[in-house]
């Protein structure tokens, strides 16, 4: 990743603050996501991690500060970013195939071509032959796969992920995490992965950013993850290095978690 240092960051936040009425969710956030980097953001619940993603996605402009995407000031929606939401975001009235092809349909790609490419993507996420199912006919893990295909088919340079696997059972979750790493290693998108699960963050990311407890939360620590790639998220958890990084980050995160709970 050395030569990436010279290129413009994929995302750069400078002094970003976001408020909802009187409540300040995040304050004075500075954050850099280098091109091709996989960064995980962890923090206690209610620390404004999702708020940060929405700001970068351009869904809600920040109350103060600025967002730069590949060096350019972000106004309106972030067209370079794909967003994988925590909740189900598929259109329930469209089949898996139609859902996967949605972005292409919006872009005006002819139907036959859009469906062909969508079918290829469904196969890529392990859902070949499930194209004619409606979301309610799929399991939670399968719906996440469709959502992943729906986002990746648009080939976004930046991938924003908001606890995308938190609703899945542990086995499905580790399967999906490995799948994500495999897909990411194919073309090295810049990924900002938000989670409250420290183990997941370390297993996936190049760098882990710790947020303080809300309100007015901000990053309070950054830790590089010196684990080799390609990784297997299940096996990597058992290594000495993993435990070392985990111990280091947890000593910082624990206080914030305690604070978040003290306030509840």
Using CB under 8 A as the binding rule, the residues of this chain from 8 to 67 that contact other proteins are 54, 57, 59
Q: Residue from 43, 44, 103, 131 that binds other proteins (CB under 8 A)?
A: 103
Q: How many residues line the site for other proteins (CB under 8 A)?
A: 34
User: Could you tell me which stretch among 74-82, 173-181, 211-219, 250-258 binds other proteins (CB under 8 A)?
Assistant: 74-82
Minimum distance between the CB of residue 11 and other proteins, rounded to whole angstroms? 15
The residue among 70 and 85 lying less far from other proteins, judged by its C-beta, is 85
Q: Residue from 2, 22, 112, 136 that binds other proteins (CB under 8 A)?
A: 136
Q: Establish if 94 lies at the interface with other proteins (CB under 8 A).
A: yes
Q: Establish if 88 lies at the interface with other proteins (CB under 8 A).
A: yes
Q: Establish if 170 lies at the interface with other proteins (CB under 8 A).
A: no
Distances in Å between the Cα of 194 and the Cα atoms of 23, 47, 86, 128, 189 are: 21, 11, 10, 29, 16
Q: Establish if 261 lies at the interface with other proteins (CB under 8 A).
A: no
Q: Establish if 148 lies at the interface with other proteins (CB under 8 A).
A: no
Q: Establish if 114 lies at the interface with other proteins (CB under 8 A).
A: no
Q: Establish if 171 lies at the interface with other proteins (CB under 8 A).
A: no
- Transcribe 11-76 into DSSP letters: EEEEEEEEEETTEEEEEEEEEEE-TT-EEEEE--TTSSHHHHHHHHHTSS--SEEEEEETTEEP-S
């Amino acid at each position: 990743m050395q030569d990436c240092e010279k290129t413009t960051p994929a995302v750069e936040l400078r002094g970003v603050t976001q408020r909802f009425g009187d409540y300040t969710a995040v304050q004075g956030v500075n954050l850099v996501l280098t091109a091709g980097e996989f960064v995980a953001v962890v923090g206690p619940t209610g620390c404004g991690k999702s708020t940060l993603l929405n700001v970068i996605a351009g869904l809600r402009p920040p109350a103060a500060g600025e967002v730069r995407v590949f060096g350019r000031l972000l106004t309106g929606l972030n067209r370079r970013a794909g967003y994988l939401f925590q909740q189900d975001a598929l259109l329930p009235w469209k089949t898996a195939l139609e859902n996967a092809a949605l972005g292409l349909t919006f872009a005006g790609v002819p139907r036959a071509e859009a469906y062909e490419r969508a079918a290829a993507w469904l196969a890529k996420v392990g859902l070949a032959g499930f194209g004619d199912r409606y979301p309610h006919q799929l399991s939670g893990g399968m719906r996440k796969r469709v959502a992943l295909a729906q986002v990746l088919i648009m080939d976004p340079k930046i991938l924003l992920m908001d606890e995308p696997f938190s609703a899945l059972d542990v086995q499905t979750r580790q399967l999906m995490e490995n799948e994500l790493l495999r897909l990411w290693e194919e073309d090295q998108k810049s990924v900002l992965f938000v989670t409250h699960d420290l183990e997941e963050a370390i297993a996936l990311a190049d760098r882990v950013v710790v947020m303080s407890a809300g309100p007015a939360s901000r990053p309070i620590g950054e830790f590089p993850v010196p684990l080799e790639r390609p990784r297997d998220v299940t096996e990597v958890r058992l290594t000495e290095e993993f435990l070392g990084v985990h111990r280091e980050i947890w000593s910082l995160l624990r206080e914030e978690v305690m604070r978040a709970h003290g306030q509840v």
